[in-house]
Amino acid sequence: MPDKPRTDRTESEESRRSAEGSGQRADSATASLQPSAPSPQHALATRIQERLQAIREGRLERSLQPPSGIDFSSNDYLGLSTHPRVVQAMIDAIEREGVGSTGSRLLRGERQAFADIERRFAAFKGAERALYFSSGYLANLAVLTTFVEGGDVIHSDSRNHASLIDAGRLSSAKRIVFPHKDAGALAQLLSRPPSSGHTFVVTESLFSMDGDVPPLAEYDDLCRQHGATLIVDEAHAVGIYGTRGSGLLEEYGIEHGNCLSINTAGKALGVSGAFVAGPAWAIDYLIQRARPFIFTTAAPPAVAAAIGASLDVIAAEPERRSRLLDRVKRLRAMMAASGLPVPAFFSQIVPLVVGENERALDTAAALQAQGFDVRAIRPPSVAPGSARLRISVNVTLTDDAIDSFVRALAAVVGVGAIGGISPGSLSWSAASS
Ligand SMILES: Cc1ncc(COP(=O)(O)O)c(C=O)c1O
């Protein structure tokens, strides 16, 4: 980024501040005649202030805003983060085992609770084995940095989550981005003469910011045909889709023979962390080599107990999942009736693309002021020019909450309501990346 002229302070004020910061006397003759080079700390502070200013000017500034109002933004789709059975399981486990694990899994941090929940999760997922990580971000880093070697190729969907992008960057593979959900483009890429290394295809099963689903069965066929491995991030699908609720791989009948999945426990499961599920050899190797698994303190064991209780609830209360989908239907029907664009794809993530960052912020702020907790999503989470509201539906929403939210939304995006946004300028997903 080119240096910008400083408009906020004079040069002399600047050198005085610099001298004060380094403990020098600002009024000495030497200081005024021979300005010394700014201290490294000062130089960094200046650069970072410029970066922060650019972030503010682009309306890209993030703020830390605790929940307030009716939840239209969390990933607690099934309401399990506060389910009494899940909460009690965690309390009981804390009383039994304490709050911390005291070490990494390969040292004194290992507990029977982890082995038990991993066995159970693998069965839930229909995979041979599973391994628990402290977060989905770490699990994605682990998969792409452990199995992928120099000379390999990663084909990655253009709208993959940042954790998958970062993981690909950290791997030593050649990375090729294919157009969003485009099985035809992927087929062409895979039919190129193979590199000497192995090929991976990386996708989310339910895209976190678009709420849509790629042609997973076609990807699975293509991968088998070309000897590639399919890596599927089920972050937003696990707990909800498929007969058991284990995710979209189950829904589409895709087995883990040629596929590894990453399944967060901090979204529909309501707790935290993530499981990598796959063949036994893959899990064995992760334990030996995955740095995000090895070089970190194990999660509190009580988390494993809480996840176990979440799986119990998902099995015992299938009506939770059907109620969630019913809530989605109501929201979509209300949006359609109000003249708002409704996504082509049916899922609990309902994006409303408004385009400019400012518009997304203003729309979200207007709804927040009316008691609805919906958040603006801006670059780099989505492509520039595709800022949006990411409306997320959860099972606790009443008919009344949904209806009043949509009424407020329609009013806020109505002509002239917030500086000229008209429903015609909105789209389901105008993102291009
Ligand atoms: C698609 C996807 N993958 C991975 C992650 C990271 O999971 P976690 O929040 O457990 O680190 C997220 C979280 O936002 C996500 O949306």
pLDDT given for residue 370 in this prediction: 97
12 vs 412, higher pLDDT: 412
Confirm or reject: Cβ of 157 under 6 Å from ligand 1.
Answer: no
CB of 208 sitting under 6 A from ligand 1: yes
Cα Rg, the chain, nearest whole Å? 25
Q: What is the pLDDT of residue 418?
A: 39
Q: Residue 16: pLDDT above 50? A: no
Specify the ligand 1 atom closest to the Cα of 75: 14
Task: Give the distance (Å) from ligand 1 centre to CA of residue 374.
Answer: 18
Give the span between the Cα atoms of 386 and 70, in whole angstroms.
Answer: 25
Which amino acid does the sequence have at 414?
Answer: G
Average pLDDT over residues 165-192: 96
**Using CA atoms, how far apart are residues 154 and 13, in angstroms rounded to an integer?**
52
- Identify the pLDDT of residue 12: 34
Q: Is the pLDDT of residue 430 over 50?
A: no
Q: What letter would DSSP give residue 222?
A: H
What's residue 25's pLDDT? 37
198 in catalytic set: no
What pLDDT does residue 8 have?
34
Q: Closest by alpha carbon to 143, among 262, 47, 55?
A: 262
> Among residues 83, 125, 155, 161, which one is catalytic?
161
CA of 274, closest atom in ligand 1: 10
pLDDT digits (tens, 9 = 90+) for 240-291: 999 999 999 999 999 999 999 999 999 999 999 999 999 999 999 999 999 9
- pLDDT value, residue 433: 26
Which residues are registered as beta bridge partners of 239? none
> Which alpha helices (H) appear in 269-398, and where do they start and end?
280-289, 291-294, 301-316, 318-337, 357-369
**Rounded distance between C-alpha atoms, residue 298 and residue 311, angstroms:** 21
| Weakest mean pLDDT among 98-107, 256-265, 411-420 | 411-420
Residue to substitute in 134, 137, 156 for testing ligand 1 pocket (most ligand atoms within 8 angstroms of CB):
137
Q: What is the largest CA-CA distance in the chain?
A: 80
Residue 308: pLDDT above 70?
yes
Which residues are CB-contacts of 220 (< 8 A; sequence separation ≥ 6)? 230, 252, 254, 258, 259
Closest CA to 330 of 392, 236, 395, 403: 403
- 423 CA to centre of ligand 1 in angstroms: 31
- What's the half-sphere exposure (Cβ side, CA atoms, 13 Å) at 150? 0
φ, ψ dihedrals at 339, nearest 5°: 80, 15
| Catalytic annotation present for 267 | yes
Nearest CA to ligand 1 atom 9: 136
Dihedral sign for Cα 343, 345, 350, 351, please: negative
* Rounded distance from Cα 161 to ligand 1 centre (Å): 7
Q: What is the dihedral of CA 130, 134, 139, 142, to 10 degrees?
A: -100
Q: Nearest-CA neighbor of 203 among 140, 125, 134?
A: 140
Rounded Cα distance, 166 and 23, in Å? 40
Give how far Cα 380 sits from Cα of 155, 194, 232, 331, Å.
20, 32, 22, 27
Atom in ligand 1 nearest the alpha carbon of residue 160: 1
| N residues, the chain | 433
Please give the pLDDT value at position 6.
35
Tell me which of 118, 152, 212, 233 is the catalytic residue.
Answer: 233
Place of tokens 């960052």: 357
Q: Which atom of ligand 1 is nearest to the CA of 138?
A: 11
Mean pLDDT on 227-232: 98
> Which residues sit opposite 129 in a β-bridge?
278
**Could you tell me what percent of the chain has a pLDDT over 70?**
87
Residue 426 pLDDT: 52
Looking at ligand 1, which residue's alpha carbon is closest to its atom 8?
136
pLDDT of 41 reads 76
pLDDT at 423 over 70: no
Spacing, Cα 31 to ligand 1 middle (Å): 52
State yes or no: is 155 an active-site residue.
no
Q: Does residue 372 sit in helix, strand or coil?
A: strand
Residue 299 has φ and ψ, to the nearest 5°, of -65, 160
Tell me what pLDDT residue 3 has: 38
The reply to whether ligand 1 has any atom less than 6 angstroms from the CB of 161 is: yes
Cβ neighbours of 223 (radius 10 Å): 22
Exposure string of 258-279, with b = 16+ CB inside 10 Å and e = fewer, is: ebbbbbbbbbbbbbbbbbbbbb
* pLDDT tens digits, one per residue of 354-392: 999 999 999 999 999 999 999 999 999 999 999 999 999
Cβ 393 vs Cβ 331: under 8 Å: yes
For residue 15, pLDDT beyond 60:
no
Which mutation among 240, 263, 264 tests ligand 1's pocket best, with the greatest number of atoms within 8 A of CB? 264
- Joined together, the tokens standing for residue 272 give 């935290």
Q: Which atom of ligand 1 is nearest to the CA of 204?
A: 1
Domains of the chain: 12-57 (no CATH), 70-77+319-425 (3.90.1150.10), 98-315 (3.40.640.10)
CA end-to-end span of the chain: 22
Give residue 195's pLDDT band: very low, low, confident or very high (50, 70, 90).
confident
Mean pLDDT of all residues in 133-157: 97
Question: Which pLDDT value is given to residue 252?
Answer: 97
Q: Is 173 a pocket residue for ligand 1 (Cβ < 6 Å)?
A: no
**Mean pLDDT, range 191-211, rounded to an integer:** 94
137 close to ligand 1 (CB < 6 Angstrom):
yes
Number of H helices, E strands in the chain: 16, 12
Q: How confident is the model at residue 18 (pLDDT cuts 50, 70, 90)?
A: very low
What confidence score (pLDDT) does residue 13 get?
36
| Residue 424 DSSP one-character state | G
Integer Cα distance of 187 and 104 in angstroms: 41
Q: pTM to 2 decimals?
A: 0.88
* Ligand 1 centroid – CA 186 distance (Å): 24
Residue of the nearest CA to atom 16 in ligand 1? 208
Does residue 278's CB lie within 6 angstroms of at least one atom of ligand 1? no
pLDDT grade for 227, boundaries at 50, 70 and 90 = very high
Question: How open is the CA angle 142-124-271, to the nearest 5 degrees?
Answer: 60
